[in-house]
Amino acid sequence: MEKKDKKKKRPLGIPTMYDRAIQTLYAFALEPIAEVKGDKVSFGFRKGRSAKNACEQIFCVLARKCSPQWILEGDIKGCFDNINHEWLLENIPMDKRIMKQFLKSGFIYKSVLFPTETGSPQGGSISSLYANMTLDGLEKLIQEHYHRNSKGKIENHYRAKTQKQEDLIRRLNSILIGWTNYHKHVVASRTFSYVNNTLYLLLEQWAKHRHPQKNKWWRLNKYWHSKNGKPWVFMTDKNYLINLRTIDIRRHPKLQISRNPFIDEKYFIKRRLRLQTVAARNG
């Protein structure tokens, strides 16, 4: 697969339906073991956990006066591609013969069979379990050795001057609604306000590109209007740009990280029903 903004390609192994079914069957058996042995604050590819739980855990850790001032952000280069087969065979508690077949099956490209000496295919249904079990304990190791900061990046979805205002609003709203829905469970009000201001400046530039000979007030009066008593809304007769400052911050109920979905089944059922009730109430 092509990587975004990169020339390098991402290898993606897609098992046959039969192989996928067998992998899924063994994953069902391995998952409870992985859950018991897994790091308490690991959230990826785990039953009953999500990115929202990770955000809530980060908030609880960083919201105190005595909280750490720096965050380490890291990316393991080719994580799935470079997992050591020998380590997996020695440390993952499952049938070694079957596991070796999963790992050493190779892949076919343009009718040629290529061997797989390292890694676990990203398209495999058991690969995420292998990756999690391989990385267990890494957090503790990093805590003992490293501290560094991280920087966030917001992509600029700003198109050419030829795009109609109605189409531009529709495209921006689709991006902003999805982005704010994902982040509205964390401390995001200041970020929403910052993005809102940045959008206004970018849209001013967009209007200037469309009408370079007109003055600022002419452009403002053409593209910004009053709506429900609120002035300076970027809008047309058919749609308008959402105001990120009006997005309510709703805290995501914190997960009790000591709970195990295979042992504390009632807790996770009750939690799931509670989340569904909250989601329905919030529309």
232 three-class SS: strand
**Encoding tokens for residue 260?**
């195990």
> What is the crossing angle of helices 165-183 and 189-210, to 10°?
170
Angle between helices 96-104 and 17-37 in degrees, nearest 10:
120
Identify the pLDDT of residue 118: 80
Determine the pLDDT at residue 161. 54
| Integer Cα distance of 59 and 187 in angstroms | 8
pLDDT at position 233 is 95
pLDDT at position 1 is 63
Tokens 């001013």 identify what position? 204
Q: Which of the residues in the chain have pLDDT under 70?
A: 1-7, 9-12, 142-162, 283
Helix, strand or coil, per DSSP, at residue 86? helix
C-alpha separations of 226 from 68, 208, 231, 263 in Å: 44, 20, 4, 56
User: Does residue 121 contact residue 80 with C-beta atoms inside 8 Å?
Assistant: yes
Residue that the structure tokens 């469309």 belong to: 210
Query: What tokens does 112 get?
Result: 């040629």
CB contact set of 242 (below 8 Å; sequence gap of 6+)? 173, 176, 177
Q: For residue range 136-163, list pLDDT tens digits in order.
A: 877 777 666 654 444 434 334 444 456 7
Structure tokens at 30: 């391995």
Q: Distance between CA atoms of 89 and 120, rounded to whole angstroms?
A: 12
- Residue 83, pLDDT score: 84
